[in-house]
Amino acid sequence: MALLQVLLDTEGIDAYDQIFSLAVLLSCLFVYNHMGGIDESALDRLSLVTEMTKHIRVKAGKGDDASLGEFTPSFLWLLRDFYLKLEEDGHKISAKEYLETALHPVDGEGASVRAKNEIRSSIK
């Protein structure tokens, strides 16, 4: 029996609607195609996806993160159209270390800092 594979390109995360949600639910791989490096704006847009997974969890009637995995696709964050020198403090770093650094909690206090750190935590 042949396996059917379909590539479906939908509008981006900014077009948070039923088509996007359905495409993510039907997918086995979700590619977040992002132009540029990981910055605060990219994290904010990606937080929409993490919010969507919370709604999927509620609709599925399951509250734990382990059970959520059966309803969500694998995730690939594609960074494009920029040049990145993988160095930090003069030392070479891996792509994984770059991501970990970008998702490191922001120092400070207040509602905006808490919101930024919640986004980072949910993406991790």
pLDDT tens, residue by residue, 90-120: 899 998 898 898 899 999 999 888 988 988 8
Strand partners, 75: 30
- Report the alpha-carbon distance of residue 22 to residue 80 in Å, rounded: 25
CATH for 55: 3.40.50.300
- Which residue is listed with tokens 């400070």? 108
Question: Which residue range is the domain that position 83 belongs to?
Answer: 18-123
**Angle of CA points 87, 89, 90, to nearest 5°:** 60
Tokens read off for 3: 């396996």
CB-facing half-sphere around the CA of 8: CA atoms within 13 A: 16
- Report the alpha-carbon distance of residue 33 to residue 36 in Å, rounded: 10
The verdict on residue 8 lying in a domain is no
Asked if residue 75 lies in contact with residue 32, where contact means CB atoms within 8 angstroms, the answer is yes
The verdict on residue 52 lying in a domain is yes
The verdict on residue 61 lying in a domain is yes
Displacement of CA 104 from its chain's centroid (Å): 15
The verdict on residue 72 lying in a domain is yes
**In the prediction, which pLDDT does 92 show?**
92
The verdict on residue 37 lying in a domain is yes
Tens digits of residue pLDDT in 25-82: 778 888 888 888 888 888 888 777 767 666 665 555 555 555 556 666 788 888 887 7
- Report the alpha-carbon distance of residue 74 to residue 44 in Å, rounded: 20
The verdict on residue 110 lying in a domain is yes
The verdict on residue 9 lying in a domain is no
- Report the alpha-carbon distance of residue 34 to residue 57 in Å, rounded: 26
Higher pLDDT, 107 or 12: 107
Q: How many domains does the chain have?
A: 1
